[in-house]
Chain A
Amino acid sequence: MKKIEAIFRPEKRDKVKTALAENGFFAMTVSDVRGRGAQKGIQLQYRGKRMKVDLIPKIKIEMVIRDDDVPKVIGTIRAAARTGKYGDGRKFVLPVDQSAMVRTDEFVSD
C-alpha cells in the first residue's frame, strides 16, 4: 500500500478528480492548502515596485492505493493538473503500514 499526496493548482481540482474517477480511483481526501515551492511564491512587478505573494492557494489530495497503481495515479494527476509553468505542484509517494476501517476495525490491504 502506498499513500499519494498531490499538491496542485486549485482550478485543476475538478479535472483531476474526474480523471482519477475515470481510471477507477474514487477514494480520496481533499483539502484547501496554501504553500510555496522553490520559486518562493509569485513575484509581481508593480510599476518598478516588487511585490511578493509567497503563500499561494493550492489543493492537496491524499489517497491510499495499491503499489502497482502508483505509476497510473501519478501519470493521471500529471495529465490533468499540468500547465507546464512554475507552480504546477508536487506529488509525494509514502509507504503505508496498515489501514483499518473505522466501522469494523477490519484491516484492509488495498
Chain B
Amino acid sequence: MVLDSGDTAFIIICTALVLLMAPGVGLFYGGLVRRKNLISMFALSFAALAIVSVQWILFGYSLAFGPDIGGLIGSLEYAGLQGVGLSGDGIPDLLFMVFQMMFAAVTLAIITSAVAERIKLSSFIVFGLLWTTLVYDPLAHWVWGGGWMAGSGILDFAGGIVVHISAGWGALALALVIGKRAGFGQYSMEPHNIPLTLLGGALLWFGWFGFNAGSALAANGLAVNALIVTNTAAAAGTLAWMAASWINGKPSSIGMISGSIAGLGAVTPAAGFIDPIGALIIGAVSGIICYYALLWRLNRSLDESLDAWAIHGVGGVWGTVALGIFALSGIGGITGLIGGSSAQLALQAVGAVAAVAYAFAVTFMIAKAVDLTMGLRVTEDEEYVGLDISQHGESIYV
C-alpha cells in the first residue's frame, strides 16, 4: 500500500483528459443537430457531467465499487465517500474514485444521442439520475467492482461493456420510448455545423488517451500499449469508414470522424490485452460494421438520432468479443483465439450478450417510467421552435 507519485500524477492528468470528453460529446452531437438545438445538445452533456459528479460522491461510487453483495451490486458502505481515503495501492483510493467518476459522466453524455432535439430538460435530469444509478453502477460493479462478470473472468479493460454497450444499447431503448423527432423521414435534418462535430470528435480522440491508457491505473508499459492501440484503432476505423462510404458516394468528414469513434469504442475493452496489429484489425472492422449498422438504422427509419447505438453500441459489442480473439498473453496475460484458446472468446460473448440485454431492458423500463410520470418529450410547439429557446431561453445565432 505504497503511493507512487508517478502513477498518481499520471492518473490525475488522465482524469482531466476524460473529463474533457463530456464537452467533447456535446460538441460532437451539437454540430449534428439543427441550429435551434445546439445549446441544448451541449448543455445536456454538461448536465450529465454535473448529475453524475454529485451522484457518484453520494452513493454511485459505493454502488459500483463498494463491498460486493451477491455479485450484483456494491453496498452503501462507501456512501458519501466514507472510508475512501488518501492512501491506496499505487494511487490514492480517492483518485481512483474521481477517475471512475469521469467514465460514468461521459457514459451518460453519450446516451443523449437518443433524445436529441426533443427531450424535456427536467425529465432528462430525472432519467439521468435513475439511469446512472440503475444501469451504469451495476454494470461497473459487475465488471470492475468485483461482481459476477469479474468473478467469472469476463474482461473489459476500459469500458467496452460498462461504457459503450451500456450507452449504445441504452440509447436504442430510450429512442424507442421517446419516439421520432417531428418531421423525421419527411424532410431532411442535416447537420448544421460540421466543424463543431469534427472538433468534438477530435477532443474525444484526445480524451480517449486518458480513458484507455489511464485504465492501466499506473504509468507503465501497459498504459503505453493502451495508448498506441487506441490511436491505431481510431486511425483504422477512420480509414475503413471512409472507404466503406466512398463506395456509396463521397466520403464525408462526418463519416471519417464517426469511423474514428467506432474504432475508439471498439478498442476500449481490448486496449490492455492486444498489440497494435490486433488494434488495426479491430478498428478497421469496427469502422465497417458500424457504418452498416448506421445504414440499417436509417433503412428501418429508427430515430436513434445521433447514432450512439450504431457507433458505441455495435462497436462496443464487437470490441468486447474481439478481445477474446486478438488477446496476446505477452501483453495482458490473456490468450485469445489467435493464440489457440477459445475460452476467453466464449466468456466475452456471454458478457456482451448479458450487458446488451441488461442495458436495453432496464433503460427501456426507466424511460417508460419517466415518460408515464412526467413525460420525456417537450410539446410540439417547443420542439418546433427548438430546445435552445424553449428549454434554456437562449439562442446561439441572433
Interface residues of A (CB under 8 A from B): 11-15, 42-46, 51, 53, 56-57
B387 to chain A, nearest CB (A): 11
Residues of A within 8 A of B77 (CB): none
Interface pair B183/A11, CB less than 8 Å apart: yes
A77 to chain B, nearest CB (A): 15
13 A-B contacts (beta carbon < 8 Å): A11-B183, A11-B186, A14-B188, A15-B187, A42-B381, A42-B385, A43-B381, A44-B385, A45-B379, A51-B390, A51-B393, A53-B385, A53-B390
- The A contact surface, by secondary structure, is strand
Residues of A within 8 A of B186 (CB): 11
Residues of B within 8 A of A15 (CB): 187
Q: Which 8 pairs between the two chains have the least Cβ-Cβ distance? A: A11-B187, A53-B385, A42-B381, A53-B389, A42-B385, A11-B183, A44-B390, A44-B382
Given contacts A11-B183, A44-B382, 17 further A-B contacts (CB under 8 A): A13-B187, A14-B187, A14-B188, A15-B187, A42-B381, A43-B381, A44-B379, A44-B390, A45-B379, A46-B390, A51-B389, A51-B390, A51-B393, A53-B385, A53-B389, A53-B390, A57-B36
Interface residues of B (CB under 8 A from A): 36, 183, 186-188, 379, 381-382, 384-385, 389-390, 393
Q: How far is the CA of A81 from the CA of B390 in the complex (A)?
A: 24
Give which listed residue, B183, B379, B385, B393, contacts A56 with CB less than 8 A.
B385
Interface pair A42/B188, CB less than 8 Å apart: no
The residue in A11, A45, A56 that gathers the most chain B C-beta atoms within 10 A of its C-beta is: A11
A37 to chain B, nearest CB (A): 14
A12 in contact with B384 given A51-B390, A53-B389 (CB within 8 Å): no
Interface pair B36/A44, CB less than 8 Å apart: no
Q: How far is the CA of A56 from the CA of B36 in the complex (A)?
A: 11
Q: How far is the CA of A43 from the CA of B385 in the complex (A)?
A: 10
B92 to chain A, nearest CB (A): 44
Residues of A within 8 A of B379 (CB): 44-45
Q: How far is the CA of A76 from the CA of B354 in the complex (A)?
A: 54
A109 to chain B, nearest CB (A): 36
Nearest residue (CB) in A for B182 is: A11
Q: How far is the CA of A14 from the CA of B36 in the complex (A)?
A: 19
B356 to chain A, nearest CB (A): 35
Give which listed residue, B183, B188, B381, contacts A44 with CB less than 8 A.
B381
Nearest residue (CB) in B for A47 is: B122
A4 to chain B, nearest CB (A): 22
Residues of B within 8 A of A11 (CB): 183, 186-187
Residues of B within 8 A of A46 (CB): 390
